[in-house]
């Protein structure tokens, strides 16, 4: 049977104490604190009790104590007999009997802190072993234990008051750590931090408490910029301390986890070794660790074109252009737009929808494409390409096809910029259907009013952001003079570059 060292020491102390210092008096005598020690007045009961606790063999002792408790269920020594019986079963490795006896003891003495300590310890051990059903027991016993440490009166069988205070000091960390561990499992991080911190302060070398304390800080959703409470800093220092306490493969795993969390929090691994060194021994002073604040999309967008020449900007991917035009400051947008506007560009995209517009000689094909990897994943168009003429039926692409094409940027709209032609009409449905003779205005078919002409009242002017409170406008670039560079395929090819997004380092 697996038992915690502290629970075993506690049980052994109970056995020793019962043998050496807790034998009942045949005459009343004063105990510590003025309380009278319990007295067995019936000689037969007295002899049965003494014979039981004086057994040297733990199994024989357990048998004799069970017989005593059956014969004398209301004995004044019932509590002590249960305590010694609990320790005897723990010595023989009979965990089910340990638990059963501890529960029977609590029936007789609801605030018996020895029984509560052992039940707390064994419940936690079970939860750590994957028996999540024991979590409720762990919460119950640890909470009751903390309550009883503060409220329970010294039993008459504990003579010196100093022994009682020493016992309370020994078991309190068991209850604190048990409750903290239960709170961690229940994702009550503040509770876990408060209770586990008390347990770690009592014994900073106990890995079984130091590591969960680190997890209680690092798992807290409040660990985010600016992290004014320094939860991440505390968690990183305690996980470094745990790495110093661990051995073998466990040490490597904790170090790797701590390094990953440190990089995520700080933005780089610089300084991690200093934290490991500072926490080699306790007590330690946690080094100051600054939190990484990721750039905004606007900052990221402008960083893409900072100090770049027009030729270098032209070499960026479409996804990078889109980020700048979608989120950058006006001056950053202009740096990109001035390079690509009106310039024939060759690129690749995934077809979202296709439709023919117009009639007779003016008939042409309009293709909705996704050209940045993010929009490809979302199956969302970011380019509206108007071909130079209608695409022949034998070359007509379908939704999901990869299309290599040439197009000339004409305009674009984004959440921070309205196009020069006002708000564009809604994209065609992503069904892949190619109507033979669609109406000239698809918006009219849906019963919606057509988009207002450029310059109409209420239409945003070029370069102005949408009105406050208006829904965000998805990015869309319009291109004209479209040409097919090759026949559309059926297997999408992944673009070489994903549009940058604001992401923190991987957790």
DSSP assignment string, 466-477: PPTTPPPPPPEE
Position 420 pLDDT exceeds 60: yes
Q: What is the pLDDT of residues 50-73, one digit of tens each?
A: 999 999 999 999 999 999 999 999
- β-strand pairing of 476-484 with 383-387: parallel
- Residues whose CB falls within 8 Å of the CB of residue 391, separated by 6 or more in sequence, listed in order: 354, 365, 397, 484
Q: What is the pTM of this model?
A: 0.66
- How far is CA 135 from its chain centroid? 20
d(CA 296, CA 327): 9
3-state percent breakdown (helix, strand, coil) of the chain, nearest 5: 50, 10, 40
3-state secondary structure of 63: helix
Highest mean pLDDT (candidates 26-40, 82-96, 185-199): 185-199
* 5-201: CATH architecture: Alpha Horseshoe (1.25)
Tell me how far CA of residue 216 lies from CA of 185, 191, 197, 465, in angstroms. 9, 9, 10, 44
Q: Which residue has the higher pLDDT, 161 or 303?
A: 303
Position 392 pLDDT exceeds 60: yes
> Exposed (0-12), middle (13-18) or buried (19+): which is 118, by Cβ within 10 Å?
buried
pLDDT score, position 163: 81
pLDDT score, position 248: 94
pLDDT score, position 471: 60
pLDDT score, position 417: 84
Q: Which residue has the higher pLDDT, 1 or 318?
A: 318
Averaged over 495-506, what is the pLDDT? 48
Position 337 pLDDT exceeds 80: yes
Main-chain dihedrals φ then ψ at residue 365, nearest 5 degrees: -115, 135
Q: Average pLDDT of the chain?
A: 83
Position 427 pLDDT exceeds 60: no
Averaged over 350-378, what is the pLDDT? 94
Domain ranges in the chain with CATH number 1.25.40: 5-201
Position 6 pLDDT exceeds 70: no
pLDDT score, position 159: 62
CB contact at 8 A, 75 and 49: yes
d(CA 25, CA 37): 7
Q: Which residue has the tokens 């052994």?
A: 12
Averaged over 240-260, what is the pLDDT? 96
CB contact at 8 A, 418 and 424: no
- Give the CA-trace dihedral at 372, 373, 377, 381, to 10 degrees: 10
- Residues whose CB falls within 8 Å of the CB of residue 54, separated by 6 or more in sequence, listed in order: 19
Q: Which residues pair with 117 in a beta bridge?
A: none
Position 219 pLDDT exceeds 80: yes
Position 200 pLDDT exceeds 70: yes
Position 306 pLDDT exceeds 70: yes
pLDDT score, position 16: 44
């Amino acid at each position: 049977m697996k038992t915690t060292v502290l629970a075993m020491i506690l049980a052994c102390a109970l056995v020793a104490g019962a043998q050496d210092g807790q034998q009942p008096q045949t005459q009343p005598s004063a105990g510590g604190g003025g309380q009278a020690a319990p007295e067995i007045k019936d000689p037969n009961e007295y002899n049965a009790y003494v014979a039981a606790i004086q057994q040297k063999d733990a199994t024989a002792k357990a048998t004799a104590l069970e017989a005593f408790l059956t014969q004398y269920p209301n004995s004044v020594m019932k509590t002590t007999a249960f305590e010694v019986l609990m320790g005897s079963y723990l010595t023989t490795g009979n965990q089910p009997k340990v638990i059963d006896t501890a529960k029977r003891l609590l029936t007789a003495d609801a605030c018996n802190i020895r029984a509560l300590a052992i039940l707390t310890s064994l419940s936690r051990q079970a939860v750590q072993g994957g028996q999540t059903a024991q979590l409720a027991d762990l919460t119950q016993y640890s909470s009751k234990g903390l309550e009883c440490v503060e409220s329970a009166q010294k039993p008459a069988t504990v003579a010196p008051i100093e022994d009682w205070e020493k016992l309370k000091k020994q078991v309190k960390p068991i209850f604190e750590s048990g409750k903290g561990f239960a709170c961690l499992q229940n994702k009550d991080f503040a509770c876990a931090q408060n209770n586990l911190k008390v347990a770690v302060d009592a014994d900073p070398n106990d890995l079984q408490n130091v590591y969960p304390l680190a997890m209680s800080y690092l798992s807290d959703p409040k660990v985010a910029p600016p992290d004014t409470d320094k939860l991440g800093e505390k968690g990183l220092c305690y996980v470094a301390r745990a790495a110093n306490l661990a051995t073998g493969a466990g040490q490597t795993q904790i170090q790797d986890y701590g390094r990953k969390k440190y990089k995520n929090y700080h933005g780089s691994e610089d300084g991690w070794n200093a934290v490991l060194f500072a926490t080699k021994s306790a007590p330690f002073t946690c080094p100051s660790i600054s939190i990484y604040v990721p750039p905004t999309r606007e900052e990221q967008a402008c960083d893409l074109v900072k100090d770049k020449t027009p030729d270098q900007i032209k070499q960026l991917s479409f996804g990078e252009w889109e980020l700048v035009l979608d989120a950058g400051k006006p001056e950053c947008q202009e740096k990109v737009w001035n390079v690509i506007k009106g310039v024939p560009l060759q690129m690749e995209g995934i077809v979202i929808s296709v439709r023919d517009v117009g009639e007779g000689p003016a008939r042409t094909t309009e293709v909705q494409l996704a050209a940045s990897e993010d929009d490809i994943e979302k199956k969302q168009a970011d380019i509206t390409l108007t071909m130079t003429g209608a695409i022949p039926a034998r070359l007509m692409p379908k939704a999901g096809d990869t299309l290599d094409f040439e197009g000339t940027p004409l305009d674009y709209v984004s959440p921070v910029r309205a196009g020069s032609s006002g708000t564009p009409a809604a994209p065609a449905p992503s069904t892949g259907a190619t109507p033979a003779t669609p109406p000239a205005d698809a918006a009219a078919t849906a019963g919606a009013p057509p988009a207002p002409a450029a310059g109409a009242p209420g239409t945003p002017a070029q370069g102005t952001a949408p009105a406050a409170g208006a829904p965000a406008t998805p990015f869309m670039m319009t291109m004209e003079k479209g040409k097919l560079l090759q026949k559309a395929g059926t297997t999408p090819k992944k673009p070489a570059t994903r549009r940058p997004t604001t992401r923190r380092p991987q957790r």
